Copies of this chain bind each other. A is one copy, B any other.
């Protein structure tokens, strides 16, 4: 009998449990534990686990795979504790968004014979609350795995197997590379969103301005409404990488500003490029350094559809240009 233990049972851990139960693994039992009674009873209620234990020791006893669903502070504590206590051969993985730090901790705290293989599933929709927990949350999604150089193949395969069981597509990355990407795409937008709120709401005129607030502000400021403690933790997870991204963004804003203030010729081009880059991402036709992922025929179909959309947009634009000329005639009713 294989034993998989989920430590934490937050929204993500609960989703993993539900996904594993759904996968109907032969000869495996799913155990859960949480410091929060509410999370444990929820996991039992929704059937995310076969059973829960109040004690961490009891829950991980005899486990082949231990999955940590915890924030950074808890993860450090858990690696300290479990890294020494688990039986040789046990594999630990996590679900957190920052990888370099946990790799360092694993080197410090996890004894020989126990293997920590960090992971990060990337669900398509955010899973913020227990109610969002979903066994299909990772289906057809990316599952990023960051195997330490020293990790034995069998341990890596255990985590690949976890991703497979959840219907996710595993792929390997270096911890630092992963973290720089995460800083640019997950944390930079949070800082941006909060900075927009600070800049506008601290303005003298905000008390009147707030009545004019548009959907644009509403959209871009939305992340500032996330739990500020989480936003804070995120910013501190890898401050050097995030600061580099903020610098890059400030440089871009200065370039936009120069074009705007000086009535620069490139401004339309820059907006078109941004529009195009985002559309490529949306349509999944970003050229992949690691080689194409889609079968070639599908990829070129994507490019074709995308090109078509571009052409249509172009046509719409020039029609609008034409429609812009008004004449004052007394043409009849139509």
Contacts and interface: CB of A to CB of B under 8 A. Distances in A.
A22 interface: no
A239 B261 contact: yes
A278 B52 CA distance: 39
Nearest to A246: B257
A142 interface: yes
A100 interface: no
Contact of A195 (B58, B200, B253): B253
Indicate how many identical chains form the complex: 2
A330 B55 contact: yes
Contacts of A236: 260, 263, 267
Contact of A181 (B209, B239, B245): B209
A224 B257 CA distance: 16
A157 interface: no
Interface residues of A, number: 136
Given A52-B334, A54-B334, A216-B186, A246 B225 contact: no
A133 B121 CA distance: 40
A181 B198 contact: no
B207 A325 contact: no
A199 interface: yes
Interface string A43-67: 0000000011111111001000000
A214 interface: yes
Interface string A199-216: 111110111111111111
A303 interface: no
Contacts of A239: 260-261, 263
B246 A286 contact: no
A235 B216 contact: no
Interface string A230-241: 011001100110
Interface string A139-176: 00010100000000000000000000000000101000
A126 interface: yes
A173 to B, nearest CB: 8
Given A53-B333, A77-B326, A326-B74, A185 B212 contact: yes
A282 B275 CA distance: 29
A103 interface: no
A270 interface: yes
B274 A197 contact: yes
Contacts of A126: 215
A130 interface: no
9 contacts: A61-B330, A185-B216, A197-B277, A198-B252, A203-B248, A208-B289, A224-B271, A225-B282, A250-B253
Interface of A: 35-37, 40, 51-58, 61, 71, 73-74, 77-78, 81-82, 85, 122, 125-126, 142, 144, 171, 173, 177-178, 180-182, 184-203, 205-217, 219-229, 231-232, 235-236, 239-240, 242-243, 245-257, 259-261, 263, 267-268, 270-275, 277-279, 281-282, 286-290, 313, 317, 319-320, 323-334
